[in-house]
Chains A and B, each alone.
Chain A
Amino acid sequence: MHNHDQALIFESSTPGRIGYSLPEMDVQELDLVSLLPEGYIREEEAELPEVSELDIMRHYTALSKRNHGLDSGFYPLGSCTMKYNPKINENVARYNGFAHVHPLQDESSVQGALGLLYDLQEHLIEITGMDEVTLQSAAGAHGEWTGLMLIRAYHEANGDMKRTKVIVPDSAHGTNPASATIAGFDTITVKSTDKGLVDLEDLRRVVGEDTAALMLTNPNTLGLFEEEILEIAEIVHQAGGKVYYDGANLNAVLSKARPGDMGFDVVHLNLHKTFTGPHGGGGPGSGPVGVKADLIPFLPKPIISKRGEEFVLDYDRPQSIGRVKPFYGNFGINVRAYTYIRSMGPDGLKAVTEYAVLNANYMMRRLAEHYDLPFDKHCKHEFVLSGKRQKKLGVRTLDIAKRLLDFGYHPPTIYFPLNVEECIMIEPTETESKETLDSFVDIMIQIAKEAEENPEIVQEAPHTTVVGRLDETLAARKPILKYQKN
């Protein structure tokens, strides 16, 4: 261990210290040997740390200081919608009646929870323009897989067994093809045009009687609205396929366009993006799935329904794809999303998208002189730059990202989408002020100048973080995946 290294909690452990306070042991304790079978009582204790409560708090406080969150500073990570996480959401999700209810209690004792979920469904139905929504999927990728399983069940119910292929654009998130594989489909890629949109000719070429679905993000991962969306949907529908909406970029179109009106049959949303469930350092998320009427019979079990004034869990769904998750989804995240929607209201949600798009276009225009702009038209909530010009000077996009760390920014998404060279993908969101956007743009401009005048300072960045660039090759070649006592 290096002198300046942050200690692991195991390295701070001292035998004899405790950090817990268990309830009193008020029943007679019997000999464990009489209670468990021979050979099933643990012989070696699990080497968990032995630390006091203050030790724990100091440890995690130290770790938190080595972590950049959205509350620490600007986080323009493209396609991730790093908007402010309202604090009211956290309070509401911790109400005893939400945080401390058991999923298997009698329905009559959880009417508040079921009522909230039902109303959230109703809100999401209106927002997406779909006919029904399930809140069961735990995250975006889980929602994708759920949606594709619904499409598969639909085709099979029609006796249409040849539909084995899912089409995705070359700009798609990696989860799209991966979800297709897990749902049992093969993936075909459809090309983008030089304008960054789906190539309709190529789409006509690849669709056919084996097409199960086309998966599309709109606006796409370049931040561009697929203007020919109705024609795209028509081509796929004509071929007998379904059109799937990846809701990662819904923040761009709230109150402006609804997936259900664009010809989509299935959508998933990322409540931890558009609807402010916090990202939590990588989850938990929530990935509700909305469908058009012809897919409702296949939705996962159970469905939350209303019978008179009572909310019930309906398991009587003979055509359902089955269960996709134990219980009813990531309820705690759904509570946060519901609180957010109710804090914004219809006019608030409309303003969200308007400002998200205004902010992105403003930044794009201010940066256009200094970085290559591969698609020069109004963007939606995010845009991509290319670091091609800087690359010729020996400064790669990765270097630019690392240099941003020196100024207290989380860098944009880089090297994605794959169809843009040295890609830099910026999504500011609506919750950032003009001052924040200007400061970030100024630094981006400064870095572009540094690339010309003093490239080493960019190439060697970061200079101010607690660790420098880490040896990822070493990590993969000789994996150390847990603490080992010396």
Chain B
Amino acid sequence: MKHRYLPMTEEDKRAMLDTIGVSSIDELFSDIPEKVRFKGEYKIKAAKSETALMKELFMLADRNADLKRNVSFLGAGVYDHYMPVIVDHVISRSEFYTAYTPYQPEISQGELQAIFEFQTMICELTGMDVANSSMYDGGTALAEAAMLSAGHTKRKTILVSSAVHPEYRDVLKTYAKGQYLEVVEVPVKDGVTDVEVLKELVNDDVAAVIVQYPNFFGRIEPLKEVEEITHASKGLFVVNSNPLSLGLLTPPGKFGADIVIGDAQVFGIPTAFGGPHCGYFAVTNKLMRKVPGRLVGQTVDDQGRRGFVLTLQAREQHIRREKATSNICSNQALNALAASVAMTALGKKGVREMAAANLQKAHYAKTAFKEAGFEVVYDGHSFNEFVVKLNKPVKEINQQLLQKGMIGGYDLGRDYPALANHMLIAVTEQRTKEEIDTFVKELGDLHA
């Protein structure tokens, strides 16, 4: 058969078979026992030409309501943000996207340096000493933070705030099972972690206290109080943080966090139906040698030239095998590059300006909802999300909003039974005043 990805001609094939000393390709498969040999062809769809396939898949994609044509107020961990156009141009350079992990540093300096810069930027935003080269996503990064904490403290209980993303908590519970850890959820009071209950729950078996900042409801958690309680019992203080918010908020490192994790999807990475996004993982110097995943370090070559290498690999699975404390191998390198480009484009001023725009526009929207007579639940200091109480199921309202080109907020009743008919609304810098006003009005009409 002929195919544009398969360059061998019949002549090539014959010459190669001669060199090998066999008369057919089939002979090369003679070691596959008859009993397990698959005969014939897969019963799958026939190949399509480039044009026909692109058309088919374009039509399939078109069946989805996308965020370009619709106005989105949906967040809950994944956001419609400004994506500097330059990001896609950089990550489309195939020297980056068609490379493997940079195991040969002499011909991988571009990727290695880009990761080194990513690590630096994550440290700057989080206020931490060391950041790795990325994790799959915020959820698995959170689970890895819990495992690191358990290994480091030799303790078995993880306290996680109920105001941490519900899906992240679910992932944590799955990992915890593998590691025989007990996960205890700390309740929420008035929209933030209940520190009084937390005080009662900490004990000398608590490896980590995990909170989210800003939390799942958009609220600013009292990191100062949580840190004091956590460290008084000698557990590790883990903060899951939206790194965009840290352009404006005091970084968790300043509050004494031991591990800061989260997702860098907010920086130039498309929502892409939930992935691939880009987990990040940052720690204090004390925990440097326990970080999961890859780390890039600076060094010199034999002529004193600066260069970068994968380093401290003695931590990793390919060296430690069954003694490894994490099994991560492939991570999200290309998305870390995308996030780096976006963080670079925003720069020192832009990251703060963009974070502030989220805060201001979300505050405007929250006020507009109140003025329109809605009850804003868990009201208080928040970043770019807040909770509005409705009198109908969120799912029903969202289906109607979609008819008007709007993607409504998240149905909190899915995870918090007490919050049935409550919508978590995200307002990013992308939303215009007009879009916000229309959304409030439409919701008001549906609500009436």
Contacts and interface: CB of A to CB of B under 8 A. Distances in A.
A30 interface: yes
Given A186-B322, A351-B1, A358 B17 contact: yes
A279 B99 contact: yes
Given A258-B38, A282-B102, A23 B109 contact: no
Contacts of B347: 13, 17-20, 48-51
Interface in B286-305: 288, 294-305
Q: Which of B54, B117, B139, B165 has the most CB of A within 10 A?
A: B117
A431 B63 contact: no
Contact of B100 (A75, A86, A431): A75
A248 B357 CA distance: 45
Given A149-B174, A433-B7, A283 B330 contact: yes
A4 B305 contact: yes
Given A63-B114, A71-B94, A174-B317, 13 more contacts: A35-B363, A46-B124, A46-B246, A49-B348, A71-B98, A103-B275, A126-B44, A139-B329, A184-B180, A258-B38, A331-B275, A351-B1, A430-B8
A111 to B, nearest CB: 5
B249 interface: yes
Interface string B318-354: 1111111011111111110100010111111111111
A145 B381 contact: no
Contacts of B62: 95, 97, 112
A217 to B, nearest CB: 14
11 contacts: A8-B113, A8-B117, A26-B434, A84-B5, A95-B61, A281-B99, A345-B48, A347-B41, A410-B100, A481-B297, A483-B116
B42 A255 contact: yes
A82 B98 CA distance: 8
Interface string A449-473: 0000000000000100111111110
Interface stretch (B198-206, B369-377, B395-403): B395-403
Contacts, number: 703
A112 B97 contact: no
Top 6 A-B residue pairs of the complex, sorted by shortest distance between their CB atoms: A327-B274, A345-B47, A97-B61, A103-B274, A280-B334, A67-B110
Interface string A2-14: 1011101110010
Q: Which of B107, B111, B178, B359 has the most CB of A within 10 A?
A: B107
B348 A366 contact: no
Contacts of B224: 39
B68 A100 contact: yes
B298 A480 contact: yes
Contact of A469 (B147, B180, B275, B302): B302
Interface in A380-400: 380
Contacts of B60: 97, 112, 115-116
A141 interface: yes
A47 B125 CA distance: 8
Contact of A106 (B114, B167, B223, B398): B398
A346 B220 contact: no
B276 A138 contact: yes
B100 A110 contact: no
Interface string A349-361: 1111011011101
A425 to B, nearest CB: 12
- In terms of DSSP, what is the predominant structure of the interface of chain A? loop
A474 B300 contact: yes
A109 interface: yes
B212 to A, nearest CB: 13
A24 interface: yes
B64 A174 contact: no
A351 B100 contact: no
B15 A345 contact: no
A98 interface: yes
A281 B305 contact: no
A355 to B, nearest CB: 5
A36 B214 CA distance: 11
B120 interface: yes
Interface in A89-128: 90-106, 108-113, 115-116, 122-123, 126-127
B256 interface: no
A42 B249 contact: yes
Nearest to A144: B327
B38 A140 contact: no
A293 interface: no
Interface in A201-232: 224-225, 227, 229-230
Given A115-B60, A174-B319, A323 B170 contact: yes
Nearest to A28: B364
B446 interface: no
Contact of A278 (B56, B98, B125, B361): B98
Nearest to B16: A362
A434 interface: yes
Nearest to B139: A326
Contacts of B6: 348, 351-352, 355, 430-431
A251 interface: no
Interface residues of A, number: 206
B171 A323 contact: yes
A139 B174 CA distance: 17
B433 interface: yes
A348 B46 CA distance: 9
B117 A483 contact: yes
A105 B407 contact: yes
Nearest to A75: B100
B72 A67 contact: no
A486 interface: no
A129 B38 CA distance: 10
Contacts of B124: 46-48
Contact of A102 (B3, B58, B78, B113): B78
A282 B407 CA distance: 34
Contacts of B37: 256-257
Contacts of B15: 434
Given A36-B220, A257-B32, A462-B106, A482 B130 contact: yes
Q: Which of B68, B101, B329 has the most CB of A within 10 A?
A: B329
B356 A32 contact: yes
A460 to B, nearest CB: 9
B28 A361 contact: yes
Given A283-B333, A326-B137, A82 B100 contact: yes
B25 interface: yes
B344 A178 contact: no
B29 A357 contact: yes
A98 B350 contact: no
Contacts of A354: 25
Contacts of B163: none
A300 B174 CA distance: 9
Interface in B115-149: 116-117, 119-121, 123-125, 130-131, 133-134, 136-140, 147
A312 interface: no
A56 B341 contact: yes
A190 to B, nearest CB: 14
Contacts of A325: 136-137, 139-140, 171, 275
A51 B344 contact: yes
A69 B271 contact: no
Interface string B22-39: 100101111111011110
B115 to A, nearest CB: 8
Given A41-B248, A283-B334, A467-B105, A472 B7 contact: no
Contacts of A103: 78, 271, 273-275
A324 interface: yes
Contact of B331 (A282, A434, A470): A282
B23 to A, nearest CB: 13
Q: Which of B270, B344, B353 has the most CB of A within 10 A?
A: B344
